[in-house]
Amino acid sequence: MYNFVQNLTKERTEEFWEFVRNKNFYENAPLFPNCYEALEKLSKVYAIYIVTAYLWNDVIDVSGKNLNNKYYYLFVNKQLHK
């Protein structure tokens, strides 16, 4: 059985989503050392697809904001790596 956020937070669901709505989880997330070099080497042998799924049907606005934060994080770090 899956543990959805709604099941885990119970009566504090609104409080949880308010916290998530105002948090950027990628703001201070470190990259693994040599991650871009490793991906470059692997891409010469394999087709690499990076996928993510975190769509929360009950709070689409939070999902959209989180996607934007993740995109910006990946874009900025890639630019810094060049």
The 10s digit of each residue's pLDDT in 41-82 is 999 999 988 777 666 767 778 888 888 888 888 887 777 666
Residue 1 pLDDT grade (very low, low, confident, very high; cuts 50, 70, 90)? very low
pTM: 0.59
Q: Average pLDDT in the 1-5 region?
A: 57
Q: Average pLDDT in the 22-37 region?
A: 87
**48: containing domain:** 5-26+34-81
pLDDT at 22 (0 to 100): 86
Total count of domains within the chain:
1
Q: How many CB atoms lie within 10 A of CB 66?
A: 21
The C-alpha atoms of residue 28 and residue 6 are separated, in whole angstroms, by 26
